[in-house]
Structure 1
Amino acid sequence: MKALVYHGPFQVAVEEVPEPKLEAETDAIVQVELAAICGSDLHIYHGKIAGVLPGTVLGHEFVGRIVEKGPLVPFPLGERVVGSFQVACGDCPACRKGQYFACLKGGVFGFGLALGNLQGAQAERVRVPFARQSLFAIGDLPAEEAILAGDILTTAYGGVRPFLSPGMSVAVVGSGPVGLMAQMVAHALGAGQVYAIDPEETRLEKAAALGSLPVNPKAEDPVARVRKETQGLGVDLVVEAVGLTGRLPRAAAFSRRVSSG
């Protein structure tokens, strides 16, 4: 089958690789319908993730159809599913507490030795360990929508839900895909005013359509605007959704916590 294979920094190629095979009773093989390129894949491409060996198939965001499965996989053959970027066993102490990120047997597709050394999903087929916990049925939902649930939406949700109470004001710095979804999560969970801060007008238009207040730092001082809108208090919650590797200037200045000392 064809897959996108990593050969080192700035070196990837679509080439023939062996078909995945079932290795455990909890495995499933998924025929990939749609795969996405995550920003984390670009970190691998740039050589910034240690332990990704040459020959690794990349990709951890995918939608597809189950074509093979072990006897402990409850889905029927042919079921359309979205895969979680991360697999988890569901049985270890961490999983029993709902802390799937700390699963003793878990891993992330296409992320190398440190995270389970699983082959990725930018391929015609992918083996999914612990399929019962790691796949979710999507029925007839369009693949372009369902694929967002596997990683990007959960990233946004995880950055907002634990910290948000209804009525809280929120500033989301960055209105790219994660930032827009962070705003959607905030609105859905009952936030008060949500401020969308981004220099790109097309992104701010999308943010405004969600009900956020757009603020363009090219046109005005975003900190001053947020302070003005909140009577000098700042917001209750700041979500940084830019992903800079360096320092984000004055990000904390939006926060009520900073302004109140």
Structure 2
Amino acid sequence: MRALVWHGPKDIRCDSVPDPRIEAPRDAIIKVTSCAICGSDLHLYDGFMPGMKNGDVMGHETMGIVEEVGPECTNLRKGDRVVIPFTIICGDCDQCRRGNFSVCERSNRNKDLADKVFGHTTAGLFGYTHLTGGYPGGQAEYLRVPFADRTHIKVPESLTDEQLLFLSDIFPTGWQAAVQCDIEPTDTVAIWGCGPVGQMAIRSAILLGARQVIAIDRVPERLSMARAGGAITLNFEEESIVERLNELTHGKGPEKCIDCVGLEAHATATLDSMYDRAKQAVMLETDRPHVLREMMYVCRPAGTLSIPGVYGGLLDKIPFGMAMNKGLTFRMGQTHVNRWTDDLLRRIEQGQIDPSFVITHRIGLEQGPDMYKTFRDKQDSCIKVVIRP
């Protein structure tokens, strides 16, 4: 089959690789009908996430049709239409029973490695480093799904792939980011980053009843999309974010702050961002946490910081004393996808939201390597890429 394959930083190729096969009784094989390039994939493309190996298949936003099932996968059959969450879940461990699916205790086949690096293992993830299992991803013609009897979302024929695909990651990720804020009707929610997850977080915060949502970015197309979703927008290259947030909250700061940027913050004119880039260049720091620092500073005392943005390693110069003395609450983590998908599928069916609004580019697998660069460099007004294998 054809697949997008990682050969090193900034080196993604469309290669021929072996077709997947059933390896365990709870497996299924999916014929991929749609997949996507995610902002998290760019951390792999740029070489900032440890644990990638030459030949790894990329991708973790996938849906398709069931082709084959293992003997213990009794709730799926050939022809079923499914979205595949990026988190691989067993459904039986203590964490899964609690709904903490992104920290499933059994699905990471490299558990010993994850135990050493993280202290305790997290879930296996598709197409996302050997620290999370080294599972081949879904930017391919076919995908093997471990624990497929639980790692799937059955979806109706009445909705299109483009309406449903983002149940795999960015829609529940934006939703969880907003839910973690415990939004009240009087709240101002500030969201850093208007990429795909930020766009979903904006609309989720509005659906959950925030008084005002403020979105921060510098890319005109992203800011325009955020305004269309109901947000007040700020361009960090043209105005002081701290000053404007204080102005919009009468000097008190937003109650809730969401980091949809993660480890590759692109602030350019601040001393801390220049410091981060210099340390990262000589491998003395893995991540660029400008957004985290800014959120800690501007958030209202006793407020909440929600962090769906991905971080990969060690952060420097984090003002933790500031956060402690202000009594800030941090809520973060990979998304517990299956905790939210029944509700979100209902909202799509009822017309409350159509996640396909975020799509700007549609391509085949062969165009994938070039589109990684286009997406990373925000060229051609690119916000979200869908691939049809």
TM-score, with structure 1 as normaliser: 0.91
CA distance, structure 2, for counterparts of residue 253 and residue 50 of structure 1: 30
CA distance, structure 2, for counterparts of residue 64 and residue 97 of structure 1: 28
Percent of aligned pairs sharing the same letter: 38
Kept in 2, the 8 Å contact 1:89–1:105? The answer is yes
Task: Please state whether the residue corresponding to 2:22 is helix, strand or coil.
Answer: coil
CA distance, structure 2, for counterparts of residue 57 and residue 169 of structure 1: 40
Kept in 2, the 8 Å contact 1:170–1:191? The answer is yes
Give the aligned partner of residue 200 of structure 1: 219
Is 1:213 the counterpart of 2:257? The answer is no
Q: Which moved more, 1:232-241 or 1:204-213?
A: 204-213
TM-score, with structure 2 as normaliser: 0.63
Q: Give the drift of 1:158.
A: 2.5
Give the aligned partner of residue 191 of structure 1: 210
Q: Give the drift of 1:65.
A: 0.7
Kept in 1, the 8 Å contact 2:183–2:205? The answer is no
Q: Give the drift of 1:222.
A: 3.0
Task: Please state whether the residue corresponding to 1:35 is helix, strand or coil.
Answer: strand
The structure-2 alpha-carbon separation of the partners of 1:41 and 1:199, relative to structure 1 and needing over 3 Å to count, comes to closer
Is 1:83 the counterpart of 2:81? The answer is no
CA distance, structure 1, for counterparts of residue 239 and residue 134 of structure 2: 46
Give the aligned partner of residue 314 of structure 2: none
Is 1:127 the counterpart of 2:144? The answer is yes
Query: Structure 2: which amino acid aligns with 1:113?
Result: H
The structure-2 alpha-carbon separation of the partners of 1:198 and 1:55, relative to structure 1 and needing over 3 Å to count, comes to closer
* Cα shift readout 1:191-239 (whole Å, capped 9, x = no counterpart): 1211112223332222222221222334433322222222211110011
Q: Which of residues 238, 253, 257 in structure 1 aligns to 2:301?
A: 257
- What CA RMSD, in Å, does the superposition of the two structures yield over aligned residues? 2.1
Is 1:156 the counterpart of 2:185? The answer is no
Task: Please state whether the residue corresponding to 2:257 is helix, strand or coil.
Answer: strand
Structure 2, unpaired ranges of 5+: 108-123, 266-286, 304-324, 327-389
The structure-2 alpha-carbon separation of the partners of 1:53 and 1:181, relative to structure 1 and needing over 3 Å to count, comes to same
Give the aligned partner of residue 182 of structure 1: 201
Task: Please state whether the residue corresponding to 1:250 is helix, strand or coil.
Answer: helix
CA distance, structure 2, for counterparts of residue 8 and residue 81 of structure 1: 31
CA distance, structure 2, for counterparts of residue 218 and residue 10 of structure 1: 27
The structure-2 alpha-carbon separation of the partners of 1:159 and 1:113, relative to structure 1 and needing over 3 Å to count, comes to same
CA distance, structure 2, for counterparts of residue 45 and residue 219 of structure 1: 29
User: Which has the bigger relative contact order, CA under 8 A and spacing at least 6?
Assistant: 2
Kept in 2, the 8 Å contact 1:252–1:258? The answer is no
The count of residues paired between Structure 1 and Structure 2 equals 261
Structure 1, unpaired ranges of 5+: none
Give the aligned partner of residue 60 of structure 1: 60
Q: Give the drift of 1:45.
A: 2.4
CA distance, structure 2, for counterparts of residue 209 and residue 110 of structure 1: 32
CA distance, structure 2, for counterparts of residue 204 and residue 219 of structure 1: 13
* Cα shift readout 1:27-60 (whole Å, capped 9, x = no counterpart): 1100011111122222222333222222221111
CA distance, structure 1, for counterparts of residue 228 and residue 295 of structure 2: 24
